[in-house]
Every structure is written in C-alpha cells, then in structure tokens.
Amino acid sequence: MKDLTPIPLHAPIGPVAKSTAVYLRYRIGMTYRKVAEVFKDLFGLECVPASALGFDRQTARKGTPLYEDLREKIKASEVIHADETSWRNDGIGHYAWYAGNSDLARHGLDDHSQFRMRSLMEFSTSSDSFLELMG
C-alpha cells in the first residue's frame, strides 16, 4: 500500500528523483511537464516542470569535468570514429554527433552540422591518430 504521509513543502528533491527525471526526459523522451505529472501520479512528489529543467542543468554542470576528460582521452586515441545524424530537439532541427572508439564514447547535440564535423576533424592532437567518418 502506498504511504500517504505528506511530503513537507520545499523539501529538497534527492539525487535518485533528479536522476529519474533526467532519465524520463532523455531516455524515454518525456516533456518536462509530463515528468512532473509522473512524479506527482506515481511518487506523490509535486514539482513544477521548471524543476526538471533545473535538474538537467545541474546534471550537465556536474558532468562537465567527466565530459571534458572523455574528450581529452578520445583525442589521444589512435583511432577515432565519428558520426552525425539529423535530430529534432523540441521540434527544432539539430545534429546529434558521436566521436569515440571501442573503449570510449562522446555524444553531443549541435544546431550546426558543418561546425561540428569540422571540429571533429580537428579533434585529434596526435599526428598518428586515424579519424574515420561514418556515414
């Protein structure tokens, strides 16, 4: 049976709930509004859609050092695979891109294809690296 104990107003939302919101948004593809509805309906957590957006921004900010570490490790690899595809993000055309190898992967989203591919081609700092563009 569901615990009906009310959650105190302005109680902080924990890391599991925040990561669940990010998962629902990006893996399942829910809007921020639907994420808030799921939280209320299934978990009894009331939050506004802007809170889910805040969780995204907080996650991105905390993940930046890891993301940049991946970038440097991929740049140093002997082989770099790269790919991009068109992608709609909230109804706006973007390009999803990938750079990596059999051990590491780095993904991103950009609204300019040529900009991203140019930077991928300049991705490697090692003259011994091989860049393979998939397509």
pLDDT digits (tens, 9 = 90+) for 102-125: 999 988 877 776 555 555 555 544
**Sign of the C-alpha dihedral computed for residues 87, 106, 131 and 116 taken in this order:** positive
Q: Say whether both 107 and 129 belong to one domain.
A: yes
Q: Could you say which DSSP state residue 14 is in?
A: -
Q: Say whether both 7 and 67 belong to one domain.
A: yes
- Cα–Cα distance for residue pair 66/85, rounded to 1 Å: 24
- CA-CA distances (angstroms) from residue 9 to 21, 35, 58, 121, 127? 19, 19, 21, 51, 57
Identity of the amino acid at 63? G
Q: Say whether both 15 and 40 belong to one domain.
A: yes
- Range of 92's domain? 76-133
Q: Say whether both 117 and 66 belong to one domain.
A: no
Banded pLDDT at 40 (limits 50, 70, 90):
very high
Report if pTM > 0.85: no
Q: Say whether both 5 and 63 belong to one domain.
A: yes
- Cα–Cα distance for residue pair 16/51, rounded to 1 Å: 14
Q: Over pLDDT 70: what percentage of the chain?
A: 75
Q: Say whether both 94 and 57 belong to one domain.
A: no
Q: Say whether both 110 and 49 belong to one domain.
A: no
The count of structural domains within the chain is 2
The residues, ordered by sequence, that sit 6+ positions from 28 with a Cβ below 8 Å of its Cβ are: none
